Structure formats: structure tokens, C-alpha cells
Structure 1
Amino acid sequence: MKKIILTYISTVLTIFIVLNYILVPKVKAITLDSSMDEKTIYLTFDDGPSVLTGEILDILNKFEVKGTFFLIGNQIKGQEEIVKRLHKEGHSIGLHTYTHEYKKIYSSQQRFISEMLTTQKIVDDLTGVKPNIIRFPFGSNKKLSQIFLNNLHNHNFKVYDWNLFMSDGINCKTPPYKLYKEATKPVESEGPVILLMHCDYTHKNTCKALPEVIKFYKDKGYEFKVIDETTPEHYFPLKKQV
């Protein structure tokens, strides 16, 4: 009986996380500088590094564009050379917690920040750079309050969600043609395109769709940029304080 109850709770939590993840992109995010050029795109990749991150780097280099990679700290071991390559080739590195485990990272603000600091140190030890750009796993929607944001700012962190996404994070087997259609839809919010993609070992179809996505935005005259500490923050509406 206990096992059945635990399975039920786990299933409900999984459904909640997935639904939250799906619904987040429908929420209009806040960019602190809406006057930014709308012909700008940021290619962002979550959940690396992995063996496929290198393949994505090869594609970006082929098209002479740069990307922003939000890394999970406990996945860096064994992929240290990929992290060094990211830095060496001029891509931007962001933080995506250490464990990416929902219950752990959102158990408290202190735990969340601690995981970001742990990953920051790992990256610093490898590259000599301490990234301060972060992304909330599953997005900041319904998690980020003004107090939380102030706390993050006190640690010199800046938050970046997205306004366009591939569903590769929900289903890594989504066909490349569908990923392409998702990545090239009109963006409702003002400012540049911030495209969310993923680069862990399951995302082979993301690699297949990426060249055509890049071609689409190049043909439209977009400028490809990386997110760094000078980029205005972009996050979903803040959670109301209780």
C-alpha cells in the first residue's frame, strides 16, 4: 500500500512539473529593456554538458554563430573538455543548478543559491570565469518573487527565462520538423528572441533541427548574440508575496 501511495505521489508531481513547463512559455516574460533590437536572437541550451554538446558546438561553428549554455553542475564530471571548449570558442556559460532535482533545488532559496554557487565554482576552476547568468530549471514562473530576485541579485546573479522554445525538453523524440516549426514561430513578447533548446545526451533530434533553425534566422537578417552579464534580464512575471 505504501509503495502504491509513493508511486501515486511521484506521478502527480511529474505531471505537475511537465504541465508547469508546458504552460510557462505562454506567459509573457519581462525584459528589463524592451527597446532592444527585435532582430536579435539568443540560442540557449539547457541541461548540458553531454556528448551531444560537442555536436551542437560543431554546428554553431559551421554557421559561425555563438550560443549560451546553461550547465548542470553534476554533469560536468567527464565532460570537462567540453566546458573548456565552450569558453575557448567564445560561447557563453550559464548556471542551471547542480542537481536539477525539482524537490531539492526548490526546497528553499538557500538551497537554490547554494547549488548555483557550487556549479559556478566548478566552472571557474575549469575556465577561470565565474558565470553569473542563471536559468531556473522548468522556468522561474510561480517560483521567483521580488524577495527571491533581490536575494539572487545580492549574489550577483541575473535571471534569464525564454520567449520561444523547442519541446525537446518535454519529449526528446519530438521529430526534427516539429522542433523547427516550434523554433521559428512568431514571438509575442517585445524585444529579442530567446530560444530555449536542450543539449543533454538524449537530444539527437535537436541537433538535426538546429541547422535549419539557424538558416531561418540568418535568412531573416537576425543577429546572433550570447547572453552575458551585460544582457538585460528576462524573466516571467514575479510571484506575488504572501
Structure 2
Amino acid sequence: MTNRRKRRRKRLFYELVLLAVVLVFVVGFSFRGSGDNIAAAVEKQGPPEMVPTLDWVPQPKQSMKGSTFADSIVQKEQELQQQESNQKIVYLTFDDGPTADAPKLLDTLDQFGAKATFFMLAPHIKEHPEVVKRMVEEGYAVGLHGVTHDASKFYRTKESPLHEMQEDQAVLEEVTGVKSTLIRTPYGSIPYMLDSYRKVMEAHGFQMWDWHIDSQDWNTSGNVFVSNVINGILRMEASGKHPIILLHDRAQTIQYLPKLLKWLNDNHYVTKSLDESMDAYNFKCENRCRPYGH
């Protein structure tokens, strides 16, 4: 009886081993049939809830502070900051557009590898949406200039500048998908942008930009504005400031713009766009502001 039990147990053991081998073969074959295409398997089953890890994989340190690698990163950042501070940077800004001449303006800027910022009016954005889309696609900065460009309407109350900029912002966002907070008020912030008006704009997240150099391209003939800009840049050079230059999207400006851009390139100036990470530059009231009409 004892020997029979032993034989029975031995046979049962071999049967279990054989069954296990068969199961392994069947499962493996099924997996090969449906799982050779990994993309199909992932699509069918979805991504794993957790990425598997191996115990022996070394874990990164929580902080690299004080390490040689961290010190080299800091040193590189300082070198880049120093390099930028040593660059001769100018910011070209164009108001009142986009006009029908804006494509030619972009072509001219592209020809010289120049960057710029465009402060645009809502009605003009609606008239020329394709060129505004092109501005965004080519990496130019787009900002807001209001709706009416009529001082009697724009500066009527402390809420009227806000309403015009919000409308302009909505139009620009609808056309390009960009929600810009960069603004330039018509004719600049002095003298009609009272401190109370400014607080309203700041409370709604708008950044108001004026300029260092007025090219006077809006009231001079020929290429006089080019000399105005060059002289203004040379005067500012000693101060170490990066000048913001006021220009306009208009045919005559575009006609003579290559002369200015060539001078900038020949004298190693770098043109950049304004952006929302910068501290906005604007004129301060300092007892110079007054309500419109007074």
C-alpha cells in the first residue's frame, strides 16, 4: 500500500509539471500572437498605471546645490547674463497697424533678421487677420493699441482705456489665439493717462509701454526719421539702457526702414521683441498728467 501511494504521488507530480509546461507554452504563444505589435498592445490595454522601476537603479540626489555640476550651471547662467548685458540691444515697436503695407513691413524685417513688437488697433486686426497670424508664426511680439485711437473717447473715464484694451485683446486672441497683455495707449501715456487710470489697467494685468526714442516718422518727410533714431540711439548708448523706439506701420516708414536696419546691423546692434517677463517702461505722471480736455 505504501509503494502504491508513492507511485501515485510521483505520477501526480509529473502530471502537474507537464500541465504547467503546457500552460506556459499556450500563454506564451497567445502573447506572441497578439503582442508582437507593441503599439497595438498599448492601444488595446492603455498605458501602465505606474512605470516599473528596478531596485538597483541609483536614485538622483534631491539637491545638487554645492556640486560641481550645479556650480557650472550657475556660472553658465551668469556668463549668459553678462553676454546679454554687453549686447547692444534695441527694441523696435510699430504702432497703428496692421495696414495693407504690413506684409511688406514683415518682409523687410525678415530680410535683415530683425525682431519687433506691434501695437495694433482692433479694427485693423479684423481687416488684416492673415498678416497678424503671420506676425505670431514668425515670432514677433503682438500688443494692443486700443480701438478708436481717439483721445476724446479713449481717455474719457478711467474705465474707458480698460474697455478699449479688453476689446482689442479679445479680437487679437480670436484671430491668433494669443492673449497679449502688452499695451501702448494712443499718443503715449503722458499727459492723459492719470494715475487712477493706470491703477485700473494694472489691476487687470495689463503692462503699459511707452518709448525712449520717438522717431517722429509720423510727422517728418522722407528718411529724416532714420537720422532721428540713430542720433537717439547714440545719445542713449552711454547710459547702458536698451532703447525702445517708436515707429509706425505706414508706407513711408517702410520705404526707408532698410536704411535704419542696415545701420543697426553694420554697427552690431541686436533687435529684440518686448515680452511680458520684462519690467514695462512707461512715462511717470510726476505732476505732468491731466484729464483730457483740461
Provide the TM-score with structure 1 as the length reference.
0.78
How big is the shift at 1:64? 1.2
Pair 1:80-2:123 in alignment: no
CA distance in 2, matches of 1:156, 1:81: 27
Q: 2:263 maps to what in 1?
A: 216
**Cα drift, residue 89 of structure 1:** 0.8
Q: Could you tell me how far apart the structure 2 residues matched to 1:127 and 1:110 are?
A: 26
Structure number with higher helix proportion: 2
| Letter of the 2:103 counterpart | G
* Post-superposition CA distance 1:214-242 (Å, at most 9, x none): 11122222221101101221111225489
Match of 1:142 among 188, 191, 198: 191
State whether structure 2 residue 104 is matched by structure 1 residue 104. no
Question: Percent identity over the alignment?
Answer: 31
Cα separation, 2, equivalents of 1:120 and 1:36? 32
Q: Give a deviation string over 1:53-85, Cα, whole Å, max 9, x none.
A: 111100011111111000011122220101111
The reply to whether residue 197 of structure 1 matches residue 247 of structure 2 is yes
Q: Deviations over 1:127-181 (max 9, x none)?
A: 111110100111111223433322211111011111112222235xx112x1211
Runs (5+) with no aligned partner, structure 2: 1-83
Q: 2:231 aligned to 164, 185, 196, which one?
A: 185
Q: Which moved more, 1:182-191 or 1:128-137?
A: 182-191
Per the alignment, residue 173 of structure 2 pairs with 124
Root-mean-square deviation over aligned CA pairs? 2.0
Range with bigger deviation, 100-109 or 186-195? 186-195
Other-structure match for 2:104: 55
What one-letter code is carried by the residue in structure 1 that aligns with 2:199? N
Deviation of 1:47 after TM superposition, in Å, equals: 0.3
2:210 counterpart residue number: 161
Answer whether contact 1:38 1:192 (CA < 8 A) is retained.
Answer: no
- 1:51 offset after TM fit, Å? 0.9
How many Å separate the matches in 1 of 2:195 and 2:153? 21
Task: Tell me the alpha carbon deviations over residues 183-232 of structure 1, each in whole angstroms, 9 at most, x when there is no partner.
Answer: 11134554111111111xxx222112211111112222222110110122
Q: Which has the larger radius of gyration?
A: 2
CA distance, structure 2, for counterparts of residue 137 and residue 36 of structure 1: 31
- Greater RCO structure (CA 8 Å; 6+ sep): 1
1:38 and 1:235 map into 2 onto residues whose CA distance is 22
